Structures are given as structure tokens and as C-alpha cells.
A and B are shown apart, each in its own frame.
Chain A
Amino acid sequence: MRRTLIFGLLALVLGMGNLSGQELVSSALSRDTIMIGDHVEWVSKFNLPSHFTLKIDSMAGYVVPGVELIGEFKIDTVSKRRGISQVEARATLTSFDSGSYKIPPLVVYIYNGEHLEDTLRLKELPLEVTTVPIDTASYQMFDLRSNFNYPVTVAEVAAWSGLGLAVVALIVLAVYLIRRYRKRDNPVDSRPQKREAAHIVALRELDNISQEKLWQDGKEKLFYTKVTDALRVYIEERFMVKTMERTSAEILLELSDKELDASDRKILEEIFAVSDFVKFAKYRATQQENEETIPKAVKFVTNTYLRDE
């Protein structure tokens, strides 16, 4: 009874279809010839009573060896009119092997609610897959392509970027601290500083010694030590002779090949001789020797200082 009803309905739809010039079921490929790897749309259309549903037999993977179904069938109701629904089933096919194929018949199950009313097997479809023609005249062999590198995502590089930035920050901090430490260790300003001329320093020092009135207070040894020290510092600066670690005789010997007048050399010898006597031999210099020492030292400095040419 039920079967009779369905055939009656299908006959009605068929009759209406005939009336409107529409097929009840159709299945076609968007192209019958494709290049290897190309996609082709497989579209099947069904005109069914509105309360009928359909289900396509799932065909995952290869439809036939050499042809591949990409994704699932997408079933959609395109229109509904006078109790008849037009349902469309779409799928995408591709092939990676050239040749002639026959897409096997599509199997469609028609349901009335939960009840399977009928099973339809649609016609086979031809598909021609062509390959790239090889120009044998200018044939050139190419190497295999290397693996395709997918672009790196931000999430993947975020951790490494953070680590890199931290290392750079540490290096910058270390350089800053080292520079600061060196600057503190050597607080000398990098700008050239004006140095006082050796004779200016020596004359000021001799003047200070004179004002301290050391020999007048009985501090003769200190007086001669200070005078000879001032002269040694001056000679070291002026004549580039190491003096602080040299004895009087050694200083005079090293000065022998420097430009020094005999009179100035004599002055220096006299000062050093008296100073060595006082410093090392408990010698008490005469008042005249004490009085003459500073003027002699000043004379030596003023006679020998380096003049601008």
C-alpha cells in the first residue's frame, strides 16, 4: 500500500517534472576533462516531495583508484515549490594521475521520516585527466623541490624572541655597568686637561718652602728634603729623566747628555751636595748655605725651564 503511494507520488512529481521540463534526478561534473591536480565539481540534483530527505552513501577517499573525493558531500535544499523540494548534492573531485576514469554511480537513499523509502543509483560519469605536455625539444630536468616551509607563527617565535631580547638587555646593562665602573675607577675627564708647566709648579713649591721658614725653625733636614724633592720633580718633568728613584750622582750623570749649561749644572751640584750632607751626614749647614739654597734653586728653574720657541 505504502509502496504504491510512493510510486504514485513519484509519478505525480515525474508528471509535474515533465510538465515543467525538469528532470527528477540529474548528476553531472562541471567539466569532463581536467588537468592533473585540478578540481572538478560533481553536482547531483533531486526533486523530491518536501517531507522526503535523502542521504548519500558516504564515499570517503578514492572514488575510483586515481580519483579522489575532497571533503564530504554537501547537501542543500535549493528551492521548495508546490510541495516539491529541489535538493542539490555537491562534491569536489580531483585526480593526481592522468587517464580516463568513470566516476561510479552515486548511491542515494530516500527517507520518509525515519523510513527508507527507496535507493537510487545514478549513472556513471566519465572524467578525462590530462597531464602537462612535455616539450621534448627544450626538455630540461629540474631537481626535486625542497620541502615547503610553512611560515612561522608568532606563538612559535614569541618565547625565543623574548629570550633574545633579555640577552640583549643583559649585554647592554653589562656594558653600561663596566663603563660606569671604569669611569669611577679612572675619574680623569676624557677631555684634555690643561697641565701646569713644570717650572710653574716648581717655583710655587719653592715659594711655599721659603714661606714655611723651615731652616729658621731648626728643621734643616726637612727643608733640604723638600727643596731637593721639588727640584727632582721639576727635572723629571723638564728633562724627562727619572729622578725620584735615583741618587743625586745618578741624576747628575743622566743630565750630562741633556742641554744644561755648566753654570746651571754647578748650581744643581751645590744644592745636591749640601742637601746630601744635611740629609745623610747630620751636617748643620751654615746660615749662608741655608739662605742661598732657595734663590739657587729658583735660579736653576728659571734658567732651565722650557721656553716657547
Chain B
Amino acid sequence: MSAEAVAATKTDGWEPKIVAFCCNWCSYGGADSAGMGRFQQPASARIIRVMCSGRIDPLHVFNAFLEGADAVLVTGCHIGDCHYVNGNDKTKIKYKYLENVAHELGIEKERLQLNWISASEGEKFANFIRDVTEQIKKLGPSPLKPEGVA
């Protein structure tokens, strides 16, 4: 996409597409709590539920970028709260690796974010989605986005 086109989309009411990986026990519950508390947020995120953030394979993250995600969020329970003892510790390790590869590929750091959100933190979840959406709106579409995807 040309620089002008990017600039145009930025001002054109463009909505980023965000893929959020959520673990069943905490962050997915956090997204549920956001709903129960009616914490309004931009309609930019699509949640993929996994049982544990430890299930998230770096390949899934890049798959999402290659399918046109403007940002990918990796979320799970707070450290120490993992329903599966220590799945999120493993997530943390994998995330370090992901960050490095994303950097090598020229993906801005705002496009790949890690956050620990408990099942009761509905407002935090909503704020997270709002903040990321704002950040990505400023950046414009992802450089990895394939042709023909909005």
C-alpha cells in the first residue's frame, strides 16, 4: 500500500482488526465481565478462546498477522493465577521470542501486546481494547496485511 493510501485510511474512519487470544479461565472471563459491566469498547477485536494462554503457539500469532490482523493480543491469567499451574509462565517465555521475531519482521511493538487480565477485570479488558485500537488507528494497517483485505 502506498504511503498516501495509508494516510488516507488513517483519516477515513478505518477500523483496525485485532485478534485477541484469551484463556478460558481469566482473560476470556475478563471479556465476559466487560460485557456484564457494560464496559463499552470499539468493535475491533475478535476473540479466539483457548483453554490456557500456554496453548498459544507463536505460529498462531503469525498466522493471524498473515491473515490480515492489524494487531494481535496475547492475554492470560495474572502470573501465579494460572488455572493450569504455570501455563502463563510459559506464555511469557514464548512471548519474548515472539517480540524478537516481530521486531525482525518490522512489526511495530504496538501491534503485538501481552496483557494479564483476570476474570473480574472487565473494565481493564475494555480499556485495553480501546487503547490498542487507538494506537493502531494512528499506525494504520499492518505491513503484513495481504492484498485485498480491509
A complexed with B: no
User: Which A residues lie at the B interface, using CB under 8 A?
Assistant: none
